[in-house]
Amino acid sequence: MAVQPDVVIIGSGIGGATLAAGLAPSGLDILILEAGERIEDRPENRDQRAIFQRGYFRPQESWFDRRGKAFNPGNYYNVGGNSKFFGAVLTRYRREDFAEIRHREGVSPAWPFGYEELEPWYGKAEALYQVRGTLGEDPTEPPHSMDYAFPPVPDEPPIAEVRARLGALGLHPYSLPLGIDIDRWLAKGKTPWDSHPNSFDGKMDAETAALTVALQYPNTRLETGAKVTRLTTGPDGRGIAAVHYTKNGEPCEVRPRLVVLSAGAVKSAILLLASADDANPTGLANRSDQVGRNFMNHNASAVIGISPGFRNDAIYQKTFGFNDFYLSDGAGGEPLGNVQLLGKVSGRILKGDLPAVPEWLLGIVATHAIDFYAMSEDIPSPNSRVRLDGERIVLEWQRSNWQAHLDLVKKLKAVLRAAGFPLVVSKPFDKRTPSHQCGTVRIGTDPATAPLDPYCRAFDHPNLFVVDASFLPSSAAVNPSLTIAAQALRVADHIATKELRQ
Ligand SMILES: Cc1cc2nc3c(=O)[nH]c(=O)nc-3n(C[C@H](O)[C@H](O)[C@H](O)COP(=O)(O)OP(=O)(O)OC[C@H]3O[C@@H](n4cnc5c(N)ncnc54)[C@H](O)[C@@H]3O)c2cc1C
């Protein structure tokens, strides 16, 4: 048999690529199996009609809802995973998010460790992803032991004007921490980066910021087009003996010492469930029956303020947010969530959602609009889940805390009207946008209630780790990637120093 790698990482998204970057200096022989291919540099990358109207990059995949109705999820399979399309907001959970938080419709659970445990790893993740930001503007900001290495991405003039208007209303807008080299991004084309794929154009995604670092080490290899289909255990039903995958339609298998599953919150849970065997009849790592459960995806809406007197000629727009309703509703009540700018919406983008309206008309509206993203915490529930029905992926997402989200949107609308936008419209994102999927293979301290220990190791399988958005025990109300990346670096260090020390 050929020499087998020490570690196989399944998936090259934020979890897998960041873990690879953290583990590569150890000298361990690392093989990354990635189902997708690299996103090439092609005109469609910046063609908003191709992206938003023709769905050029959307995967040809269907998931099913609880009634058996098929839908096409925006879940991307390529080197770098979903981060190739992300908005590059690389933010930390607030310190409070690691403790239990009472919400209107339930309790967000405490993590098995506090913010201070992850803090140094957040700093390392910010350095790896070259995050641009500024400290001291956001009253909810947790302590940072080091400053950002780069100044924030500057507001464009109309955005600076709106930031000032919100500040005058008593709010606390802060510069979003962003993984974007704006000069490089704009040199390729004058578009926002949010939802636009990146091909080494200045966006710090899992491929450009983390995988590239990992692949500089001769002991790390990437195999693309390698779709993992199953994990099998050894005779004791505990150790993972083999990883099975297909490459160009051909079945392949590899037998590493240690497996890191990083296929994303839906696909990692599905792979564990699909790998059920006699010793593990409900799926791998599933003694707790929690694999696939606790699916969360944030309650999120686009909120667009329109004013005939406001001319928005911003190209990228996405530079500030505010957390004035994050820890409480502003009147001592339960939390509502985070507000941040979206990438600048154009007529070509809006046309994707409103095909009956002429693009030129939507373009005029967009020129007089400012576009926000309101995001509220989704609380874990065992009944909110992803499961397999034969070959079908069934997503039974049960949103929680929806009223808090509606109130956040209502507050944001009132704020925008007070800031000079008389017309404000909103639209929630639904299951077709599982961008912030998480929670399906969570960490915890009790094997009866969580599949993974606090280092993301499966309680049931000593040589299996799950390191992607699956492990998050709560969704908070901030973008997930930096927290996934920080934990990936923490786990990589644990594997290199405690598990497979050379
Ligand atoms: C449009 C958009 C905007 C976003 N904006 C932000 C943002 O601004 N900030 C933020 O923090 N987050 C953002 N997100 C979310 C962020 O991208 C995800 O949270 C993050 O990428 C999740 O990382 P992951 O490692 O869990 O999984 P992914 O990034 O999804 O990576 C999983 C990888 O596994 C591979 N894979 C799947 N199945 C298999 C298999 N069977 N075999 C082999 N490989 C497999 C996939 O191809 C993929 O490469 C955004 C997402 C989208 C879609």
Structure confidence by residue, pLDDT tens digits, 454-487: 999 999 999 999 999 999 999 999 999 999 999 9
Closest residue to atom 9 of ligand 1, CA basis = 89
Q: Is the CB of 208 under 6 A from ligand 1?
A: no
Adjacent-strand bridge partners of 450: none
Q: What sign does the CA torsion over 316, 319, 323, 324 have?
A: negative
pLDDT tens readout for residues 169-182: 999 999 999 999 99
d(CA 194, CA 84): 10
| Average pLDDT, integer, range 427-437 | 93
d(CA 159, CA 170): 17
Closest residue to atom 23 of ligand 1, CA basis = 14
CB within 8 A of 75, min separation 6: which ones? 59, 61, 82, 264, 266, 267, 434, 437
* E strand or H helix at 31: strand 30-33
Q: Where are the alpha helices (DSSP H) in 254-346?
A: 265-274
Q: Is the CB of 192 under 6 A from ligand 1?
A: no
Q: Is 155 helix (H, G, I), strand (E, B) or coil?
A: coil
Q: Are 377 and 335 in contact (CB under 8 A)?
A: yes
d(CA 254, CA 12): 17
The pLDDT, as a whole number, for residue 22 is 98
CA of 311 to the centre of ligand 1 (A): 34
Q: In sequence order, what E strands does 262-337 have?
A: 299-306, 320-322
pLDDT tens readout for residues 124-160: 999 999 999 999 999 999 999 999 999 999 999 999 9
Residue type, 395: L
Helix, strand, coil: what percent of the chain each, to 5? 30, 20, 50
CA of 298 to the centre of ligand 1 (A): 15
Q: What is the CA radius of gyration of the chain?
A: 22
CA of 434 to the centre of ligand 1 (A): 10
To test ligand 1's pocket by mutation, which of 8, 12, 14, 429 has the most ligand atoms within 8 angstroms of CB? 14
CA of 112 to the centre of ligand 1 (A): 24
Q: Is the CB of 434 under 6 A from ligand 1?
A: no
Q: Is the CB of 82 under 6 A from ligand 1?
A: yes
Q: Is the CB of 129 under 6 A from ligand 1?
A: no
Adjacent-strand bridge partners of 231: 243
